[in-house]
Amino acid sequence: MVLKELKYDVPELSKGYAGKTLYINLDTLEIKIEDVTEEMKEKFIGGKGFDLYLMWKYLPKDKRTKWNDNENVLAIASGPLGGTSNFPGSGKSIVTGVSPLTGIIIDSNAGGYFGPFLKYAGFDALAIQGKSEKEVSIYINGEEGKIIVDDAEALPSETYKIGTILTEKYADDERDRREISVVSAGPGAENAYCGCLNFSWFDLKRKYVRYKQAGRGGTGTILRNKKIKAIVVKKRNVRTQGNNPADLEAVKKVGRKHTDEMIALDSKQNEMRTLGTVHLVPIMHEFDLLPTKNFKYGRFDNHENIGKEVYRAKFNKGPDPCWKGCAVGCSHGVSNFECKTGPYKGQLVSVDGPEYETIAGCGSNWYVDDPDAVIEVNFYCDTYGLDTISIGTGIGFLMELYEYGILNKERTGGLDLSWGNAEEALELIHQIARGEGFGKIFGMGIKKLKKYFVEEYNLSEDEARLVHDIGMESKGLEFSEYMTKESLAQQGGYGFALKGPQHDEAWLIFEDMVRNNMPSFEQKANALWWFPMWRTSFGLLGLCKLPWNDIVPEDNREFATGAIEKDGMKVPDDLADPAKIPEHVLNYVEYYNAVTGKNINSVDYIIMSERVYNFQRSMNLLLIPEGVTYRDLDSIPYRAVGPVTEEEYLSREDEYYLKQLKEESEVDVTNLSTEGKMKELRKIREARYEKLKKAVYKRRGWTDQGVPTLEKLKELGLDFPEISDLVKKHQ
């Protein structure tokens, strides 16, 4: 039954923009189409910038909005460069909302076709506020110019089922299925705070609906809390010309250049076209960075069992793009996989993944070396709408508590969560989807679990400290799957990330730890300014970051250091660092200028990101609880900084810890006991983290409490009265 319908004129795109946003209020069933102003484009660019702009517009300013308040806004956008098929990775959607896990703004991106289709259907961004009384679906028909809110009580919420049903429903024939994209979550997202959003596309070759996830921070939980089963968009013939770039030939030229390079170099470098991010498993193991047993260790003896050769044999063959024309084509999957557990037991299913994060989080981190178990976890997390990173890190935490006896069968309702027990971990995941047993408790996420375990089990002071030290969350978000203990810069990369510890904001481990390219605090602070700002740009423009640094020009170092010029171009001073992949940065700047008709350089490009970055940091002040400061929120658990347990210390003592103790301790450590050395090391490492925090805040133009200064806001053109007033209260 149609609950509300609105007809609209589908606009032509101009220089990457549709020029309109769509607002739907599920309390009132109001549907509003609003203009995108020049100021919006100038200051907020698109993508995450537009999402945040709409959140700011609609969130109340006189109260702290919680994730499950009707006022929470779920926003989804593409970006001005989104939806072209010439330049690799131009199909991302970015989602924002007030997160159930962190209570502040989460942003998370996904492939699939939704964002680009939404834009070509007429909307640069979609914002949904309010909460429906009954289950609904939302259909945006970009062919006929119609928005429909439909009764969806009878539809299943499981991702693969609902995606297939709605794709068939709205397609005229089989080919037409490719013109439809569905966003959904699943039953797990109804019972856990780490619900993800699944973004679909129809795989014409394999003839089934496939998915990419906006995994982080519980955006799927918000969707289900609003009683939305799915959001569907339909738009035919989405291609580069339709984006009406200012200079089509220039877009084609730079796109061809970047594409040719991906194709030519991938097989010599990371094999993304064959393996995707799975190639990282052996590398992370080799450099002691692969989270193993809840981030205790960085090496997993059985890593080859869940390594690239095993998945090479299991993955469907050939490049597998999640967006039209992406030459990287890293979205690999497994067809005809037979499930061994749960509601699909004995059935053959198709699985999108696993990617590195799922393998590390739900493989090595659980001490699981069964590649099929990881595939099955991947399948069920997608089906139920659960983030595999939060699930991986969360269950790793439970398994360690089980090892220490803080959890036992009595407390888990009979689950044996010993290391390596994938079957019981899967049962826990099924419990989440059913909303029962220990699964329901686990669904609250690590941050709340820490408090729950301490209080519910009346833990001793030592046990409580252990629980806090080993629960791998910051700001309430579970860590993504890289070890940070020996990289101070990456500790900051996680700890000072706006939304919580996710590597899409800063990934500095190699430069810091392996290449030792940033020995001073100032150099680390500089990197923790430039890289997060650079990476923010992908979310503003509708782009995937993998084509930036997963395949690099063969003469990257020579160009970056000024040893050579290319196409008459010299590396600009601001990019003279091989880690920035300067030639690629210049490609992106050229691409941006060619679409929008602007003429900016690489410094301007970073500033446009810095503006939105500071906007998000300022907006979060609306949401953080009274008495909590950014300094508190930017903390990380000690497991991310150094060794918590003796065995963990001893496993790296010679390689890392003794050297640091000898160089930096003010006391003679030679005669200290292991416990004494660990205490001394902790003192040193925690002080270094705090020192880095101070340096980063300063570099970013923030107060020593981590709040953007009024001067910084002015410099960025963000000194709107409401923002300035908010920030002033926290100076």
Candidate ranges 308-316, 326-334, 376-384, 401-409; the one touching ligand SF4 (CB under 6 A): 326-334
- Helix (H) / strand (E) element for 209: namely strand 208-214
Q: Report, in Å, the least distance between residue 44 CB and ligand SF4.
A: 23
* C-beta of 326 vs 684, nearer to ligand SF4: 326
Q: Report, in Å, the least distance between residue 319 CB and ligand SF4.
A: 8
Helices of type H across 626-671: 630-633, 646-652, 658-664
Q: How far apart are CA 548 and CA 588, in angstroms?
A: 9
Which of 544, 594, 622, 684 is the binder for ligand SF4 (CB under 6 A)?
544
Candidate ranges 58-66, 327-335, 360-368, 694-702; the one touching ligand SF4 (CB under 6 A): 327-335
Residue among 727, 723, 542 nearest 57 (CA): 723
Q: Report, in Å, the least distance between residue 125 CB and ligand SF4.
A: 20
CB 232 within 8 Å of CB 170:
yes
Q: How far apart are CA 392 and CA 220, in angstroms?
A: 17
Q: x/- string (CB under 6 A) for ligand SF4, residues 92-121?
A: -------------------x----------
Q: Report, in Å, the least distance between residue 321 CB and ligand SF4.
A: 4
Q: x/- string (CB under 6 A) for ligand SF4, residues 499-538?
A: ----------------------------------------
Say how many C-beta atoms besides its own lie within 10 A of residue 246's C-beta: 15
Query: What is the sign of the dihedral through the CA atoms of 342, 346, 347 and 353?
Result: positive
The DSSP call for residue 116 is H
Q: How far apart are CA 451 and CA 104, in angstroms?
A: 19
* C-beta of 21 vs 109, nearer to ligand SF4: 109
Both tokens assigned to 60: 């109340």
DSSP lists the bridge partners of residue 214 as 197
- Residue 533 Cα to chain centre, angstroms: 15
Which residue in this structure is represented by tokens 């795989």?
Answer: 203
Q: Report, in Å, the least distance between residue 322 CB and ligand SF4.
A: 4
List, edge to edge, every strand of the sheet that includes 146-151.
Answer: 2-7, 146-151, 136-141, 228-234, 180-184, 197-203, 208-214
Q: Report, in Å, the least distance between residue 92 CB and ligand SF4.
A: 7
Which of 49, 186, 215, 329 is the binder for ligand SF4 (CB under 6 A)?
329
Candidate ranges 12-20, 200-208, 324-332, 417-425; the one touching ligand SF4 (CB under 6 A): 324-332
Q: Report, in Å, the least distance between residue 266 CB and ligand SF4.
A: 10
The DSSP call for residue 12 is P
* C-beta of 275 vs 488, nearer to ligand SF4: 275
* C-beta of 53 vs 588, nearer to ligand SF4: 588
- Residue 268 Cα to chain centre, angstroms: 27
Q: Taking CB under 6 A as the rule, does residue 321 contact ligand SF4?
A: yes
Q: Taking CB under 6 A as the rule, does residue 192 contact ligand SF4?
A: no
Give burial (CB, 10 Å; 0-12/13-18/19+) of 668: exposed
* C-beta of 89 vs 220, nearer to ligand SF4: 89
Candidate ranges 83-91, 113-121, 519-527, 716-724; the one touching ligand SF4 (CB under 6 A): 83-91
Q: How far apart are CA 611 and CA 708, in angstroms?
A: 11
CB 152 within 8 Å of CB 135:
yes
* C-beta of 543 vs 594, nearer to ligand SF4: 543
Candidate ranges 62-70, 539-547, 615-623, 664-672; the one touching ligand SF4 (CB under 6 A): 539-547
Candidate ranges 168-176, 320-328, 659-667, 685-693; the one touching ligand SF4 (CB under 6 A): 320-328
- Buried/exposed 136-169: b ≥16 CB within 10 Å, e otherwise: bbbbbbbeeebbbbbebeebebbbbebbbbbbee
Count of alpha carbons within 13 angstroms of residue 690, beta-carbon side:
8
* C-beta of 88 vs 500, nearer to ligand SF4: 88
Q: How far apart are CA 300 and CA 284, in angstroms?
A: 10
Q: x/- string (CB under 6 A) for ligand SF4, residues 62-81?
A: --------------------
Candidate ranges 66-74, 162-170, 319-327, 554-562; the one touching ligand SF4 (CB under 6 A): 319-327
* C-beta of 331 vs 609, nearer to ligand SF4: 331
Which of 50, 297, 323, 496 is the binder for ligand SF4 (CB under 6 A)?
323
Q: Taking CB under 6 A as the rule, does residue 539 contact ligand SF4?
A: no
Q: Taking CB under 6 A as the rule, does residue 547 contact ligand SF4?
A: yes
Candidate ranges 87-95, 155-163, 501-509, 594-602; the one touching ligand SF4 (CB under 6 A): 87-95
Which residue in this structure is represented by tokens 């089922």?
Answer: 161
Query: What is the sign of the dihedral through the CA atoms of 536, 542, 547 and 548?
Result: negative
Which of 54, 214, 322, 589 is the binder for ligand SF4 (CB under 6 A)?
322
Which residue in this structure is represented by tokens 């877009």?
Answer: 251
* C-beta of 72 vs 274, nearer to ligand SF4: 274
* C-beta of 331 vs 431, nearer to ligand SF4: 331
Q: x/- string (CB under 6 A) for ligand SF4, residues 377-396?
A: --------------------
* C-beta of 273 vs 712, nearer to ligand SF4: 273
Which of 54, 59, 328, 508 is the binder for ligand SF4 (CB under 6 A)?
328
> Which residue type does 485 have?
K
Q: Taking CB under 6 A as the rule, does residue 615 contact ligand SF4?
A: no
Candidate ranges 222-230, 334-342, 544-552, 662-670; the one touching ligand SF4 (CB under 6 A): 544-552
Q: How far apart are CA 183 and CA 205, in angstroms?
A: 21
Q: Taking CB under 6 A as the rule, does residue 331 contact ligand SF4?
A: yes
Q: Taking CB under 6 A as the rule, does residue 89 contact ligand SF4?
A: yes
- Number of residues engaging ligand SF4 in binding (CB under 6 A): 15
Candidate ranges 201-209, 241-249, 284-292, 542-550; the one touching ligand SF4 (CB under 6 A): 542-550
Mapped onto helix, strand or coil, the DSSP state of residue 62 is coil
Please confirm whether the linkage preceding 354 is cis (ω < 30° from 0). Answer: yes
CB 440 within 8 Å of CB 447:
no
Q: Report, in Å, the least distance between residue 699 CB and ligand SF4.
A: 30
Which of 152, 310, 330, 417 is the binder for ligand SF4 (CB under 6 A)?
330
Candidate ranges 295-303, 543-551, 632-640, 647-655; the one touching ligand SF4 (CB under 6 A): 543-551
Mapped onto helix, strand or coil, the DSSP state of residue 328 is coil
Q: Report, in Å, the least distance between residue 303 CB and ligand SF4.
A: 23
* C-beta of 115 vs 396, nearer to ligand SF4: 115
DSSP lists the bridge partners of residue 149 as 4, 138
Q: How far apart are CA 126 and CA 219, in angstroms?
A: 14
DSSP lists the bridge partners of residue 467 as none
Q: How far apart are CA 201 and CA 323, in angstroms?
A: 8
CB 553 within 8 Å of CB 261:
yes
Helices of type H across 317-387: 356-362, 371-384
* C-beta of 517 vs 549, nearer to ligand SF4: 549
Candidate ranges 88-96, 247-255, 565-573, 580-588; the one touching ligand SF4 (CB under 6 A): 88-96
Say how many C-beta atoms besides its own lie within 10 A of residue 9's C-beta: 9
Q: Torsion over CA of 32, 70, 67 and 220, rounded to 10 degrees?
A: -60
Query: What is the sign of the dihedral through the CA atoms of 217, 220, 221 and 226?
Result: positive
Residue among 650, 717, 715, 639 nearest 682 (CA): 639
User: Which spans of this chain sit near ligand SF4 (rule: CB under 6 A)?
Assistant: 88-89, 91, 111, 321-323, 326, 328-331, 544, 546-547
